[in-house]
Amino acid sequence: LRFWGKICRMTDQRLVKQVYKYRKQKLHPDENSWCWRVATTLNSIDLLDTWFSEDVGDKENWNSVVFDKLKEREQNRWRQNMKLRPKLEIYRSHKQYLCMEWYLKSNIDWQGKKFLAQLRTGSFLLEIEIGRWHNLPRCLRLCKLCDLQTEDEKHFLVDCPIYACGSCTKTH
């Protein structure tokens, strides 16, 4: 899209602009051309009117608009995909924005980063996950240590009396 913006800012005497104009006039929906992909991408980020007007403004402004619109589209897709996965219930409750997590950039060792990532994404070996593999109802995915509650991330980190006293460590 940045290159398309650059083409739009070119004078009509430039060969690249002339080829682009020719291809745009011959555009067909069944064709998987660069022009078609630009048009469909612009449409997907609510900038189809810019496709027709070709009024992209200056380079910095255009790049900023494109970046913001693409980021918004990807964030919306990410949220929608998370809603489709019950496994990500905990993750959804703590993750509001699509961005790199602080712990991934920190000095925490790789095992600590792996542990945090697994807990956040529901892939840590807790009974909530293991029971999912065996199609057990959620109510039967009890903690093997205390046998009091469903062993999910909250139970593991906060509620389990066995983990809380430090007499046991979860291994996987």
pLDDT digit string, tens, across residues 106-154: 998 999 899 888 888 878 899 998 998 999 999 999 999 999 999 988 8
Of the two residues 103 and 74, the one the predictor is more confident about is 74
Q: Is the pLDDT of residue 172 over 70?
A: no
Angle between helices 15-25 and 34-44 (to 10 degrees): 70
Of the two residues 27 and 24, the one the predictor is more confident about is 24
Percentage of residues of the chain with pLDDT beyond 90: 60
In this prediction the pTM is 0.68
Contact 24, 35 (CB under 8 A): yes
> Token digits for 133?
């593999």
Per the listing, tokens 């430090």 go with 166
Determine the pLDDT at residue 94: 78
User: How would you write 141-166 as a 3-class SS string?
Assistant: CECCCCCCCECCHHHHHHHCHHHHHC
Contact 27, 39 (CB under 8 A): yes
pLDDT digit string, tens, across residues 26-83: 888 777 889 999 999 999 999 999 999 999 999 999 999 999 999 999 999 999 988 8
Q: Using only C-alpha atoms, what is the Rg of the chain? A: 25
Number of C-beta neighbours around residue 136 at 10 A: 14
